[in-house]
């Protein structure tokens, strides 16, 4: 099968060479061209027809955001991976790029002091994302799909009446900011349970993203801090580089943060949150797995289901990458596989159904 073709756009000669050399080391990828700014890139794209474009945020003549806006108008389905710095300015620009249609992002090496270390850092982040995004377009060679993607989708039927739902736990990665904005902004201010989110993002990014999501939602959204108490109508986002766990005390449930070993190469990891939630809420956990690379969340979903809870996942058609939700479906753990636009309504229905069912039978808690 033909290799995945990539165009590298960066104003730094050093970065263009570094990224090109990293990608050339993989036999499944071919760098078909480079550009020093967005204007040159837009002129080259129709000539080179790349499968994926890597795009620097800060460039002269035509910067990454301007280029992305023009590119999306011309090539709405072309995967674009942004290169950003781990600074507040870089994080803000990257979130702007994701809102304008960038597919994903990678962080530039913090220092170019060690070329080998810089290449390893870029390689570990960039190559898996290129392959995952190319797979979305049917271009990636030798990448096994989840068993559920190639045939009948395995779904665990939802059978009511449901247990009362007391918390919604959401896991998401690639494509997550747009997906979370669609879901959280559609929930009403009166939503009766807390929501906890693990979005794969580095430090700085999660705090800025939580602030943006708060502005677009009627719910109160913030980056989680250690000891935050879970309350109805609030949304807590796990901070970058920290696992988030839940702990029950005499007054309710609070958050715990730690920098334990990364799981699925991630910190925060969805599996950590999903394992923790049933320890405090038992069967009262509704898990939601949205678009993302890899399989983070699948093992934790098993723990939620074992405890009597249920898991909703985003479908393949509306996912940027169907890795995480596909892994849950492939394991037979999903109670619903839904388009992104239907997920907020499904969450509301499930929460209301569980509370009504328990209330009708047990007189119940408000």
Query: CA 258, CA 256: separation in Å to the nearest integer?
Result: 7
* Catalytic residue from among 200, 271, 276, 336: 200
Residue 33: pLDDT over 70: yes
pTM of this prediction exceeds 0.85: yes
CA distances from 88 to 9, 85, 198 (A): 22, 8, 20
All structural domains of the chain: 4-136 (3.40.50.2300), 150-362 (3.40.50.180)
145 pLDDT tier (thresholds 50, 70, 90)? very low
Which sign does the torsion angle of CA 10, 12, 17, 18 carry? negative
**Does residue 142 carry a catalytic annotation?**
no
Q: What is the DSSP string of 84-129?
A: E-SSHHHHHHHHHHHHTT--EEEEPPS--S-HHHHHHHHHHHHHHH
Query: CA 279, CA 304: separation in Å to the nearest integer?
Result: 9
Q: What is the pLDDT of residues 251-273, one digit of tens each?
A: 999 999 999 999 999 999 999 99
**Does residue 107 carry a catalytic annotation?**
no
Q: What is the pLDDT of residues 177-192, one digit of tens each?
A: 999 999 999 999 999 9
* Catalytic residue from among 228, 296, 315, 336: 296
**Does residue 243 carry a catalytic annotation?**
no
* Catalytic residue from among 173, 280, 319, 335: 173
């Amino acid at each position: 099968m033909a290799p995945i073709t990539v165009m590298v756009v960066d104003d730094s000669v050093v970065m263009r060479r570094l990224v090109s050399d990293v990608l050339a080391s993989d036999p499944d990828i071919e760098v078909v061209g480079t550009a020093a700014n967005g204007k040159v890139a837009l002129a080259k794209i129709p000539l080179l027809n790349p499968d994926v474009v890597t795009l620097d945020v800060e460039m002269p003549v035509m910067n990454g955001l301007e280029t992305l806006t023009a590119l999306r108008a011309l090539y709405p389905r072309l995967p674009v991976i942004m290169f950003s710095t781990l600074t507040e300015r870089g994080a803000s620009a990257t979130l702007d790029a994701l809102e304008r249609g960038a597919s994903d992002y990678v962080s530039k090496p913090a220092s170019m002091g060690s070329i080998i270390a810089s290449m390893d850092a870029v390689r570990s982040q960039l190559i898996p994302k290129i392959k995952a995004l190319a797979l979305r377009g049917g271009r990636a060679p030798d990448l096994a799909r989840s068993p559920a993607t190639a045939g009948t989708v395995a779904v665990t039927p939802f059978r009511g009446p449901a247990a009362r739902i007391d918390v919604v736990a959401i896991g998401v990665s690639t494509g997550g900011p747009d997906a979370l904005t669609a879901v959280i902004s559609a929930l009403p201010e009166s939503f009766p349970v807390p929501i906890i989110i693990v979005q794969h993002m580095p430090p700085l990014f999660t705090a800025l993203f939580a602030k943006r999501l708060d502005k677009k939602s009627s719910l109160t959204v913030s980056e989680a801090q250690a000891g935050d108490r879970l309350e109805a109508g609030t949304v807590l986002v796990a901070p970058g580089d920290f696992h988030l766990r839940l702990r029950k005390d005499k007054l309710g449930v609070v958050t715990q943060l730690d920098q334990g070993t990364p799981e699925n190469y991630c910190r925060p990891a969805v599996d950590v949150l999903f394992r923790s939630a049933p320890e405090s809420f038992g069967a009262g956990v509704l898990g939601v797995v949205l678009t993302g690379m890899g399989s983070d969340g699948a093992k934790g979903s098993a723990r939620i289901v074992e405890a009597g809870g249920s898991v909703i996942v985003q479908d393949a058609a509306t996912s940027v990458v169907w890795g995480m939700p596909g892994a849950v479906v492939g394991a037979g753990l999903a109670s619903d596989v839904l388009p992104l636009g239907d997920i907020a309504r499904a969450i509301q229905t499930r929460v209301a159904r569980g509370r009504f069912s328990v209330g009708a039978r047990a007189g119940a808690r408000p």
